[in-house]
Structure 1
Amino acid sequence: MAFSGYAQLWADRSVRALFIAAFFARIPAMAAPLVFTLYVVDDLDGSYAQAGVIAAATTLGAAIGSPWRGRLIDRLGLRRAVLPSIIAVGVLYPLATLATYAWLIPISVLMGLFLIPIFSIVRLSLSVMVEERQRRTAFSADSIIAEASFIIGPAAGVLLVTQAGADAALYAIGGCEVVAGLIFLKLNPPTRSAPQETDVVPDRPVVKTPILSVPVVFLFLISGGTMATLVGTDLGIIAELRELDRTSAIGLTYGLWGLSSLVGGLVYGSLNRSIRPTYLLLALGLTTIPVGLGGEVWSLSLWVIPTGFLCAPTMTAAAEWIAKLVPEERRGEAMGWQGTAFTIGGAASSPVIGAAIDEVGAWGGFVVGGLTATAIALVCWGGQLIPAFRPANYASVDDPNTVTR
């Protein structure tokens, strides 16, 4: 392990500014799902299945919008692609507080469609701003920052709901997301490398996998499976603490979950070798299944630590491989498709997980989320054993000493 890479990244002023902006931008984004769940269950007297439908509606909109906006970033640049999202967010959050449950569904779809693509922007910019040998550390650092935001976001959301009400919490989240979008417009981080002229002939040919090749599709599936475990753990924690009548402990449990993911991302970014996302997803799924065994606040908080430790590495590894296999001129679109994979994973799993919680209790959310990830990991692992489905530079992704340009 080598942690000096993090210091080198932080010393770069542009990278440091991007990390700081991403940290503050993600706090309201992390708070929103929990606030909407509490809004539907408490204010609208809905069920967890209905809350899952709202989450699915948002993720469905994001699934449609992410590749489109990623392509716009590739073609038009960040500012022209993100400005419509800022305007839409400023309008839709106030509308959500006035809507009935039936109207909240289409509003949620539009929220997802115009969601500010923080993940895609940051990962795309980092893939341009840092050298390829630093990419694993940079993506891990971004995951660590995301987990730090996650520790704060849900706790801040619960505090807002309990102290000021769900309406005020939604207004605050919408306002903060608008400010975050304006900050990214001001920074305008690069999304394409500056053109360079060189007479040096590379020793090895450039080998890149097309954006929708089988190996890249496997990475999208892995991203969707990761989201299934996150949704299962997310809803399961809320439901378990409500069953225990300890909703006030959400901040503690979420904090330990996020902190363990932060540590996992820190460790993964310091490694000298990449770990295949398939293996990480398999471990993530298997550690999620038994979380429901925690029947008290303290035991539930301990059970989420192993699965949390694997969250950031799994997401980082998938993004790292996508950046390696997709040409830069289509990388924004690829990151958008990965965002779509995340949102489809959430959209497909949220209603099922919500129904499982309604039917058998909180432990059903953990089991369904974990089993989904485990099944996807096994399918991808089996597919990757077929030589025709391996990328041409497969070895270079695993071996940092093998460099392709």
Structure 2
Amino acid sequence: MFSSLRALSGVPRLRTLLSLSLLARIHMSALPVALSFLIAGWTGSYASVGLLSGAMAVGQAVAGPVRGRVADRNSATNVLFMTGAGYAVGLALLIVLAETLPSGLWPIAVLVTFFTGLTLPPISQVSRAVWPRLVEDGQRDALYTLDSTGYEIVAMAGPLLATAVVTLSGGVAAVIVCAVLAASGAAFFGLVLRRAGLDRVEPRSGGASADAADRRSLLRDGTFLRAVLVPFFLMAALFSVNLSLVAWGRSHGEATTAGVLIALFSLGSAIGGLIIVARGRKQSSAVGIAALVVGLAVLALLLPPFSKHIMLWAVVLVVIATGTTVAPSLGASTSRVGELAPPERRAEAFGWLATATTSGVALMLPLTGWLLDAEGAAASIGSGAVAALIASLLAFSLPARAVKKAEAEDDAPAETAEVG
């Protein structure tokens, strides 16, 4: 059962690179908590927190493909150095504004947070562009699922870290910690990439004739566009769950229970990801997301207004079971994006993936908030189920060519037990 994990553990440099890439992303889940305390303490308004965080998300979405394209054409390490420094400067400037300007001038910070979002270090897209160069085709899904599973675990640690720093030293210190983690994580990951000789894309065989194709957007390929829209709707569905559980907990005096349920959702995702990786089998993103649709629909039926009396034990079981579909679905959909992109443009492809996931969250959060106010938690999670259904239908529409090829390779006799 664990042969796939053993094979991945034997890949040279993979453990170091994967560990560094995950640690370099911990600031992403810690920053929302840190910013909430910093900005709310400055302005006295959570509306300003939402607007400034939204401006940062827009910056991230806009810059994703551009950062990837630069990394493909030049040195990924240089891109990580520059963006890590710019990101830290942006957060430092935001702290200065919060500490020196009166609260009525907070709209000035919108430009600062937008700039900070533009310079987010592209750890995710650079690392995902590198993974196919380290393993054979039959192991790509397992590695992408392991990456998604690892980030689920890291994402649980980030808010805890930020909360601990806020408790001890305040919001300013928490944002400083996030800036240091982002800049140092990007620098260390970039240095290891350079030392491994992986900071530049592999030379292509097309030569100069491929230049015209390079100028065409990857989104002009209908198949690639559908592959990118899968995580767009998938992330929209997932973020509907977190906000809905928090809102339900606050409205029923169960804030602690809501936090535990969100943690269990992430725990279920980690368990599901590890099982898929350990089994070493190809995971269909369409089937995994279809299972997520069922789980979200059942969860919606267990919450108000559908259910007046909450059966907490049933909610816990459904949350964990639904969570087990998350990391496998994210891993499989990420693998398809990398599969459909030219090798010399993978960082750009994962830049579009980053833009899609950020945009999906930006689309869903206002809708979820409106549904929570108007109808309750069941309606908002139901909207997530609809988004997941669209993602599943898009995934089913993708060609099976790449999957069949990988399955044929998996069925063929293996020459070696490990890659390396």
Common topology (TM > 0.5): yes
| Structure 1 pair 302–353 and aligned structure 2 pair: CA distance change class (3 A) | same
Counterpart CA distance in 1 for 2:32 and 2:322 is 20
Letter in 2 for 1:10: S
Which letter maps to 2:19? I
1:378 corresponds to which residue?
A: 393
Whether the 8 Å CA contact 1:57–1:109 is kept in 2: the answer is: yes
- 5 Å matches for 1:234-245? 234-245=242-253
TM-fit CA distance, 1:357: 2.9
Q: Which moved more, 1:61-70 or 1:93-102?
A: 93-102
In the alignment, which residue of structure 2 is the partner of 1:79?
77
- Does residue 395 (structure 1) correspond to residue 410 (structure 2)? The answer is no
The worse-fitting range, judged by mean Cα deviation, of 187-196 and 88-97 is 187-196
Structure having the higher Rg: 2
**SS, match of residue 283 in structure 2:** coil
Task: Look up the equivalent residue of 1:182 and give its one-letter code.
Answer: A
Structure 2: which 5+ residue stretches go unaligned?
Answer: 206-216, 304-309, 413-420
Cα distance between partner residues in 2 of 1:146 and 1:261:
10
In the TM superposition, residue 15 of structure 1 has moved relative to its aligned partner by 0.7
Q: Give the one of 114, 119, 122 matched to 2:119.
A: 114
Please give the root-mean-square deviation of Cα atoms over the aligned residues, in Å: 3.1
In the TM superposition, 1:335-354 aligns within 5 A as 335-354=350-369
Structure 2 residue corresponding to 1:186, chosen from 191, 204, 220:
191
Aligned in 2, Cα 1:56/1:348: closer, same or farther, shift over 3 Å?
farther
Structure 1 337/150 Cα, relative in aligned 2: closer, same or farther at 3 Å?
same
CA distance in 2, matches of 1:296, 1:39: 37
SS, match of residue 275 in structure 1 = coil
- Counting only pairs closer than 5 Å after superposition, residues 1-400 of structure 1 correspond to structure 2 as 2-37=1-36, 44-47=43-46, 52-97=50-95, 98-99=97-98, 101-188=106-193, 190-191=198-199, 211-212=218-219, 213-248=221-256, 252-291=260-299, 293=302, 295=310, 301-378=316-393, 381=396, 384=397, 390=399, 393=402, 395-397=404-406, 399-400=408-409
Displacement of 1:228: 0.5
- How many pairs align? 383
Deviation at 1:67, TM superposition (A): 0.6
Describe the shift of the 1:370–1:168 C-alpha distance in structure 2 as closer, same or farther (beyond 3 A).
farther
TM-aligned CA distance change 1:310 to 1:301, over 3 Å:
same
Gap runs ≥5 in structure 1? 198-209
| CA deviation map 1:205-245 (0-9, x unaligned) | xxxxx943222211111111121122212222332333344
CA gap of 1:108–1:240, structure 2 versus 1, over 3 A, is farther
Q: TM-score with structure 1 length normalisation?
A: 0.83
| Helix, strand or coil at the partner of 1:130 | coil
Query: Structure 2 length normalisation: TM-score?
Result: 0.80
Q: Taking structure 1 as reference, are residues 12 and 215 closer, same or farther at Cα in structure 2, changes over 3 Å only?
A: same
Secondary structure of 1:127's counterpart equals helix
Structure 2: distance between partners of 1:173 and 1:121: 20
Q: Distance between the aligned counterparts of 2:165 and 2:319, measured in 1?
A: 24
